[in-house]
Amino acid sequence: MRKADLYIRVSTDEQADKGYSQRDQEDRLRRYCEIKGIPVRDVYIEDHSAKSFKRPEWQKYLSNLRKSKNNKSGSIILFTKWDRFSRNAGDAYQMINQLRSHGVEPVAIEQPLDLTIPENKIMLAFYLASPEVENDRRALNVFHGMRRAKKEGRYMGTAPLGYANKITEGKKKYIAPHEFEAPLLKWAFEQIVSNNFNTEQIWKMVREKAEGKGRFSKNNFWVAVRNPLYCGKIFIPPYKEEKGYFVKGQHEPIISEKTFADVQDILDGRKRIVKPKIVAMDNLPLRGFLKCPKCERMLTGSASKGKMGNYYYYYHCSSPCGTRFKADTANEAFLKQLRYMSPKEGMVDVFIEAFIKDFNNKTKAQNTERTNIIGEIDALNKRYQNALLKNADGEMADDDFQEVKKLTKGKIEVLERRLNDLAVVGTEIKDLVASTLKKVANIDRRYENGDIEEKRLIVSSMFPEFLEFDGTRHRTPRLNSAIALIYQNNNKLQGQKNGTSLSFLDLSQEVTPLRFELRTQ
């Protein structure tokens, strides 16, 4: 007697949309077997999509079928409808042939077909093609819906590294910067631009800062630094005859477009800044910044293990010249010279006063232009108000009023754009300059107490070119322009009175031909 295996399949969306349930299907299949007098052998319950036959329970059924040695009398596999069997016509025909090779006949109890009748194959094709067409239509609708949302600037899907999925009160989904991941990712972009470390080292530092939190896997990080999403852009991929392009996203960007462009230039090799990309140990903060005084190669650094098990650190040259300095000596000399370069007590206030006065002199013409533009805007607004009153009193025709409105509003817009292009000398400039100069005033303490990353950042920002150590003190061909000004005028300013002007804005950016010898006392 032929036995029946019951196959029950449902997916979550089908159960929600169409009311399918596993229990309902099983009840109908068992009732059918009772009426037909067919004994039930096994029941296979599936909760996977029917787009393919790579489903766990179906593969289990095929495996059991292959193991069965006595199936000559044949059996049947029962399901409610053909879409429970498959939603892919091509795969379905192949599977039907495979089942028949094992003596199994597939039967849909609600769409019965006698496949020995040739004409019934047309109905089979219809039953199999309909769910496939339905799937394809649904997928196409989803695709166009997501593409339309992207064109509106909305990010679709799971939020990438640095962002979190959010929902508004109106149940509208969006992404917002992640409170923990976003600042770290922004810091990583800034570090790539500064070019003090290579990207691999920056990723490792981010992982250390994250302390196991966040999604900072290596793959996620590399994808992130190449993704324009972080500067507020969303890419619309090409489709048919429509070319790919970028749109402005509705989400909040983490970095600016300029920062993202600079990062891409650096990663692509189009923008190479000559700065050391070296991993430095805590005891070798100057590694990669020191130049050999004999052969002019860059010194490296390493540690040697002594007889007592202690480690001793050295800066040394990799060439046969034999240059070698104790790291402690070079580090102490650098810190001592850095202390000498720091402004003397009270000098910060003198610098601030001199800067503000010089800055005001330099921006005097600009402030005058701003005042004139504001006056013109006020005059145009008064002209418009007068025309509005005359039109309301019937003294000016509507056509004339519209012409005056068009001309005045157009001129006001042009003037407002010019006004926005001019920098505003705000009252906060003094606080900004003060906070910056106070950081410089304490540069020696910041260096001494900072970690290896901050130390190397201070060295690279103060000394654009290499340092040269002769065993006693350090020299450099060029200081940062602002640091050089403070260094050169430190003693001069000590005796100057209030009101003395320094030309901060006229400072030349050319490389100084003479070498700075940083004094230690």
Integer Cα distance of 215 and 164 in angstroms: 11
Q: Which of 338, 339, 360, 367 is nearest to 502 (CA)?
A: 360
Task: Assess whether 170 and 109 both reside in one domain.
Answer: no
Count other C-beta atoms under 10 Å from residue 420's C-beta. Answer: 9
Residue at 212 is within a domain? yes
Task: Assess whether 188 and 224 both reside in one domain.
Answer: yes
What percentage of the chain reaches a pLDDT higher than 90?
Answer: 23
Output the pLDDT for position 509: 35
Residue at 521 is within a domain? no
pLDDT band for 280, please (50, 70, 90 cuts).
low
Name the CA radius of gyration of the chain, rounded.
38
Task: Assess whether 7 and 131 both reside in one domain.
Answer: yes
Q: Tell me the average pLDDT across 169-184.
A: 91
Q: What is the DSSP letter of 469?
A: E
Output the pLDDT for position 142: 86
Task: Assess whether 18 and 133 both reside in one domain.
Answer: yes
Task: Assess whether 11 and 130 both reside in one domain.
Answer: yes
Q: Tell me the average pLDDT across 93-121.
A: 88
Output the pLDDT for position 521: 54
Last residue of a domain, one of 268, 300, 321: 268
- Amino acid at residue number 69: K
Q: Spell out the residues 6+ positions from residue 70 whose beta carbon is closer than 8 angstroms to its own.
A: none
* Residue predicted with more confidence, 57 or 462: 57
Output the pLDDT for position 233: 92
Q: Which of 301, 274, 272 is nearest to 286 (CA)?
A: 301
Q: How many domains does the chain have?
A: 3
pLDDT band for 184, please (50, 70, 90 cuts).
very high
Q: Which of 277, 265, 247 is nearest to 189 (CA)?
A: 265
pLDDT in tens, 422-431: 654 444 566 6
Task: Assess whether 128 and 31 both reside in one domain.
Answer: yes
User: Residue 178 is part of a domain; what is its CATH number?
Assistant: 3.90.1750.20
Task: Assess whether 20 and 54 both reside in one domain.
Answer: yes
Question: Taking 50 as the threshold, does the pLDDT of residue 500 lie above it?
Answer: no
Last residue of a domain, one of 251, 268, 285: 268
Residue at 482 is within a domain? no
Integer Cα distance of 239 and 245 in angstroms: 11
Q: Tell me the average pLDDT across 124-152.
A: 85
CA angle 348, 353, 355 (to 5 degrees): 90
Question: Taking 70 as the threshold, does the pLDDT of residue 493 lie above it?
Answer: no
Q: Which H/E stretch holds residue 29?
A: helix 22-36
Output the pLDDT for position 32: 93
pLDDT band for 497, please (50, 70, 90 cuts).
very low
Task: Assess whether 170 and 131 both reside in one domain.
Answer: no
Integer Cα distance of 339 and 319 in angstroms: 32
Integer Cα distance of 108 and 128 in angstroms: 11
Integer Cα distance of 442 and 345 in angstroms: 11
Backbone angles phi, psi at 312, to 5 degrees: -120, 130
Output the pLDDT for position 284: 87
Residue at 175 is within a domain? yes
Maximal CA-CA distance, the chain = 115
Residue at 236 is within a domain? yes
Give the SS3 label for residue 242: strand
Residue at 479 is within a domain? no
Q: How many angstroms separate the Cα of 83 from the Cα of each of 30, 86, 112, 174?
A: 19, 5, 13, 35
pLDDT band for 114, please (50, 70, 90 cuts).
confident
Last residue of a domain, one of 230, 249, 268: 268
Of 34-43, 87-96, 178-187, 481-490, the least confident: 481-490
Task: Assess whether 60 and 107 both reside in one domain.
Answer: yes
Task: Assess whether 80 and 184 both reside in one domain.
Answer: no
User: Residue 15 is part of a domain; what is its CATH number?
Assistant: 3.40.50.1390
- Amino acid at residue number 72: K
Task: Assess whether 182 and 229 both reside in one domain.
Answer: yes
pTM of the predicted model over 0.85: no
pLDDT in tens, 284-299: 888 888 989 888 888 8
Integer Cα distance of 237 and 150 in angstroms: 10
Output the pLDDT for position 451: 84
Q: Tell me the average pLDDT across 231-256.
A: 90
Output the pLDDT for position 88: 82
- Amino acid at residue number 36: K
Secondary structure string (H, E, C) spanning 398-466: HHHHHHHHHHHHHHHHHHHHHHHHCCCCCCCHHHHHHHHHHHHHCHHHHHHHCCHHHHHHHHHHHCCCC
pLDDT band for 90, please (50, 70, 90 cuts).
confident
Domain that holds residue 85: 3-138
Long-range contact pairs involving 170-179 (C-beta distance under 8 Å, separation at least 24): 174/250, 174/251, 175/251, 176/251, 176/252, 177/252, 177/254, 178/214
Residue at 75 is within a domain? yes
Q: Spell out the residues 6+ positions from residue 286 whose beta carbon is closer than 8 angstroms to its own.
A: 280, 301, 315, 330, 331, 334, 459, 467
- Amino acid at residue number 512: T
Question: Taking 70 as the threshold, does the pLDDT of residue 467 lie above it?
Answer: yes
C-alpha atoms less than 13 angstroms from C-alpha of 263 in its C-beta half-sphere: 25
- DSSP string of 326-360, one letter each residue: EHHHHHHHHHHHHHHHSPPTTHHHHHHHHHHHHHH
Residue at 328 is within a domain? no
Question: Taking 70 as the threshold, does the pLDDT of residue 505 lie above it?
Answer: no
